[in-house]
Amino acid sequence: MQYSKHIRGCDLTVKRVGAMIEDPSWEEEPVKGNRSTKSAVRTILVVAAVVFVGGLMVGLLGGLGVLVIPASSVITFTVLLVAVLACCSTITRLFQMSKRMPLYSEMEARFEQGKMLFDNGEWAQSLEIFLELAGPKKDHKRALYYAARCYENLEQWSQAKEHYRLYLKLQPKDKEVWQSLAKAHRKMFEYEQADEADRIAARLR
């Protein structure tokens, strides 16, 4: 009975560690210089999972009398070791986040500068900033949205359409942007695509 409780506890922890390894949601968008840190975190999590499985197996063998080792001691040691590894993983992730904060602050200040220019109707100047923030990966949602708005205000409909679509890949349930995309299609006489965008917008709340 005592061993079965330990086994259930270990099994639950193994599942949690495994879920962290498989689920990429804890990983933010990569920032220059952080790939090695992210790799270290993943390695620690993998080692933690291996230690748990190994400790569980040794504990089972000890409980069955195959190995002359107290099962409870093995499992306790395993739990402590994985706790240490989990702490290392947390510290590494906190270090990674601390390195990102100056970059995020700089990007946010740059965005606010672009937004101020946008609000003042200086479309071309604000567009330069939003395109800079969007970067080569085109993964900054707000920058893509405002870049598309700038292109629309400048009546550059092809570019507006492209950037609305890039934004919608990241935020597909934005009804207003689907309507803006439909408008851009109509300006380019692409009526079928405009109707399709309107149909999608109509399904959204």
The pLDDT of residue 169 is: 96
- Degrees (nearest 5) of the Cα angle 78, 79, 81? 65
Pair 26, 20: CB distance under 8 Å? yes
Question: Which pLDDT band, with edges at 50, 70 and 90, does 178 fall under?
Answer: very high
Q: What is the pLDDT of residues 21-59, one digit of tens each?
A: 444 433 434 344 445 555 655 665 565 565 555 555 655
Q: What is the structure's pLDDT at 100?
A: 58
Q: What are phi and psi of 89, to 5 degrees?
A: -65, -45
Query: What number is the average pLDDT over the span 87-115?
Result: 72
User: Could you say which DSSP state residue 67 is in?
Assistant: S
Instruction: Check whether 62 has a pLDDT greater than 70.
Output: no
For residue 18, which of 43, 45, 40 has the smallest C-alpha distance?
45
Task: Give the side-chain half-sphere CA count within 13 A for 13.
Answer: 25
Q: Which value, to the nearest 10 degrees, does the dihedral of the CA atoms of residues 156, 162, 167, 171 take?
A: 120
- Burial level of 65, CB count in 10 A (0-12/13-18/19+)? exposed
As a whole number of angstroms, the distance between CA 33 and CA 35 comes to: 6
119, pLDDT greater than 70: yes
Q: Which of 50-64, 69-83, 88-102, 170-184 has the highest mean pLDDT?
A: 170-184
The position carrying tokens 């672009």 is: 114
- From the list 168, 177, 123, the residue with the least C-alpha distance to 147 is 123
CATH number for 121-203 (one of 3.40.50.720, 1.25.40.10, 1.20.810.10, 1.20.1260.10): it is 1.25.40.10
Q: What tens digit of pLDDT does each residue of 127-164 get?
A: 999 999 999 989 899 999 999 999 999 999 999 999 99
Residue 66 has a pLDDT of: 53
Give pTM, 2 decimals.
Answer: 0.55
Mean pLDDT score of the chain: 74
